[in-house]
Amino acid sequence: MTTTLRVAAIVTKANFRVSRQMKLQSAAFSLVELLVVIAVVAILAALLLPALSRSREKAKEARCASNLKQIYAGFLLYQSDNDGRFSAGFRWNNQIWENAYFVGGKDGWDTNVPPAKLRPLFPYLGASDAFGCPADVGVDFTNKDGIVLAPSVFAARGLSYGYNVGIFVYSKVGVPESLNERYSGLAGKKMDSIKSPATYLLMYEAPALSNDDDQPIEVVYWHRARKPGTAKGPPWADPDKDRGPRVSPILFVDGHVIFLDFTGGRGRFSPHNELTTAQ
Ligand SMILES: [Zn+2]
């Protein structure tokens, strides 16, 4: 063996001894150091969690808005086959369904509502998930039919959104009559008969409906709320019992979607009218 090789072997042995010593030292983590690390992680988590839940809610709102835009495409297809008119209702179980909540969607577990294939937008969108709001957590009270819509209205009835079908009177042949531009909603109307499509509602969620000015109504919350709320009482929902902001996406007749906060906006807005007083 040459001298050079012998020296190299000694150096390698020395290196090995040093690195073993270092490993032993770093394994001896003190309890104080561990507690400091845990505290720092806890502080970071506390700082980041609210931001995380805000961004999760933003993602839900983005998906919800994109749902409504897909549904809008369905409305346009429907109109191209129906003389340019919005859907007005359909017959099922010996009655006319005004399709306020049954304009499209899937079959849910509640069999007391019209099956998906009869709903007006079904031929254009099918049993689409676009009808389910990602923030839909159902309602937490028994409704007039004695059921709780859980775990979501979408699961129960295959549709999270309301359609501004309006209040109207059917003629004998099942066609709505007395179609008043401002007060009767969209049933049977032609798209081009709407004078201000940028402020006229097409689809919305429950918080918007809660400000309807002609009937007491249960209030539910989805977006930006911890859980669905229950509030009843004529003529308005009781704000003292409200458990969250009333935020609803609104799809307008011109196809644009915005989220509006209706909290504290009692009486300012009815979904059957043009949106002229809400911000
Ligand atoms: Zn939504």
> How much distance in Å is there from the Cα of 18 to the middle of ligand 1?
62
Q: 116-119 contacts: CB < 8 A, separation 24 or more? A: 116/158, 118/90, 118/92, 119/90
Percent of the chain at pLDDT > 90 equals 28
CB atoms under 10 Å from CB of 261, counted, come to 15
> How much distance in Å is there from the Cα of 43 to the middle of ligand 1?
32
In this prediction, residue 215 has a pLDDT band, given cuts at 50, 70 and 90, of very low
Closest CA to 216 of 247, 237, 239: 237
> How much distance in Å is there from the Cα of 126 to the middle of ligand 1?
20
pLDDT mean across residues, the chain: 74
Candidate from 28-37, 40-49, 227-236 with smallest mean pLDDT: 227-236
Contact 208, 125 (CB under 8 A): no
Structure confidence by residue, pLDDT tens digits, 72-129:
999 999 999 999 988 877 778 877 676 566 899 999 999 888 999 999 999 999 999 9
Q: Can you tell me whether residue 52 is helix, strand or coil?
A: helix
Q: Can you tell me whether residue 252 is helix, strand or coil?
A: strand
> How much distance in Å is there from the Cα of 197 to the middle of ligand 1?
21
Prior bond of 151 cis (ω within 30°): yes
> How much distance in Å is there from the Cα of 171 to the middle of ligand 1?
34
> How much distance in Å is there from the Cα of 248 to the middle of ligand 1?
7
**96 pairs with which residues across the strands?**
91
pTM > 0.95: no
What is residue 98's predicted lDDT score, i.e. its pLDDT? Answer: 63
Structure confidence by residue, pLDDT tens digits, 161-173:
988 876 544 444 4
What is residue 171's predicted lDDT score, i.e. its pLDDT? Answer: 42
> How much distance in Å is there from the Cα of 55 to the middle of ligand 1?
15
Q: Is pLDDT above 90 for 66?
A: yes
Candidate from 42-46, 216-220, 260-264 with smallest mean pLDDT: 216-220
> How much distance in Å is there from the Cα of 268 to the middle of ligand 1?
21
- Kind of pairing between the strands at 201-204 and 176-177: unpaired
> How much distance in Å is there from the Cα of 67 to the middle of ligand 1?
8
> How much distance in Å is there from the Cα of 160 to the middle of ligand 1?
8
What is residue 159's predicted lDDT score, i.e. its pLDDT? Answer: 92
What is residue 194's predicted lDDT score, i.e. its pLDDT? Answer: 83
> How much distance in Å is there from the Cα of 221 to the middle of ligand 1?
10
Most confident of 79-93, 180-194, 231-245: 79-93
Q: Is pLDDT above 60 for 235?
A: no
> How much distance in Å is there from the Cα of 250 to the middle of ligand 1?
9
> How much distance in Å is there from the Cα of 64 to the middle of ligand 1?
5
Q: Which residue has the tokens 């509030």?
A: 231
**What is the secondary structure of 92-146 as a DSSP string?**
ETTEEE--SS-SS----S-TTS--GGGSTTHHHH-S-GGGS-TT----SS--TTS
Token pair, residue 263, equals 């909290």
> How much distance in Å is there from the Cα of 88 to the middle of ligand 1?
24
Structure confidence by residue, pLDDT tens digits, 242-252:
556 778 888 99
